[in-house]
A = this chain, B = another copy of it.
């Protein structure tokens, strides 16, 4: 009775634990260990079923692409500073993952919403739908469309290989292709009449993949957290081996007095 109450309150379809038995998404864990890759396991845990090999490969390509963007990214800088303060790797990773918010890690999530909105509005001419949705987002005060443009990459090196994989997946019927077409329609609309184009960035290219694979928008952020956690760990670990204590942002040689 009361165990039933607790079971209901904490009930889950993700995992089931009993003495000497662990089921993940209904599958005994011993059937998974050694027979499923880590990327496929991520898919299984989030969606309740195993992906095909092609689906898993496309997901892993997106996860690989987002692991790191150097120590200027707040997520990486925070990880490196935190680990010098005498906390565990898990704590440094938490402080860093925590910064993957609306502006940093949430662009992929919003880009999925943008592309889905375009597809939903598409009445036969995707370019028109893209124009209308872009105009609507701009009217709401959105200055930078999520997933497009980059602070200093004029052409993000991750865009082309990711899109090429989606093209191949569309050609082979692995994914439907709508979000890819919507993303390209946005690119075309943004670049019309501009000498310096506003190309799709990593958030856009991975959003296309996550959406094509059927992940709901918020999971684009969740998957980015899994991906970037790898770079966060690599940087925190490297920094921990260098022996600094309480590392601040500015090196001593050029540190202004007031930051001393």
A residues bordering B, Cβ < 8 Å? 2-10, 12-22, 24, 28-30, 32-34, 36-39, 41-42, 45-46, 57, 60-61, 63-65, 67-75, 77-78, 80-82, 84-91, 93-106, 152-158, 160-162, 164-165, 218-219, 221-222, 225-226, 229-231, 233-238, 240, 245-251, 253-260
Inter-subunit contact A72/B165 (CB<8 Å) = no
**What is the chain B residue whose CB lies nearest that of A165?**
B34
Asked if B225 contacts A93 (CB within 8 A), the reply is yes
- Please tell me if the beta carbons of A153 and B41 are within 8 angstroms of each other in the complex: no
Q: How far is the CB of A174 from chain B (nearest CB, A)?
A: 13
Determine the chain B residues whose CB is within 8 A of the CB of A7 once the complex forms. 256, 258-259
Given contacts A15-B69, A71-B259, 10 further A-B contacts (CB under 8 A): A7-B256, A10-B71, A20-B153, A20-B154, A33-B64, A41-B67, A74-B247, A85-B103, A90-B100, A90-B221
Q: State whether B93 touches A95 (Cβ < 8 A).
A: no
Contact assessment for A68 and B24 in the assembled complex, using a CB-CB cutoff below 8 Å: yes
8 Å CB contact of A22 from B20, B69, B85, B218: B69
With contacts A157-B20, A161-B34, A218-B240 taken as known, whether A77 is within 8 angstroms of B248 at the C-beta atoms is yes
Considering the chains assembled together, what is the distance between the CA atoms of A104 and B86 in angstroms? 7
Q: A234 to B14, Cβ gap below 8 A?
A: yes
- CA A12 – CA B63 in complex, angstroms? 21
> What residue in chain B is nearest A90 (Cβ atoms)?
B100
Known: A85-B104, A221-B88. A72 touches B249 (CB 8 A): yes
- How far apart sit A8 and B254, CA to CA, in the bound complex (Å)? 12
* Partner among B72, B87, B157 whose Cβ is within 8 Å of the Cβ of A91: B87
Q: Which residues of B contact A238 (CB under 8 A)?
A: 12-14
Is there an interface contact between A226 and B233, defined as CB atoms closer than 8 Å?
A: yes
Determine if A246 and B81 form an interchain contact, defined as CB atoms under 8 angstroms apart: no
> Is A72 a contact partner of B28 (Cβ separation < 8 A)?
no
A43 to chain B, nearest CB (A): 10
Complex alpha-carbon distance, A11 and B142, angstroms: 28
Residue contact A3 to B101, C-beta cutoff 8 Å: no
Question: Given the complex of chains A and B, what is the CA–CA distance between A156 and B202 in angstroms?
Answer: 41
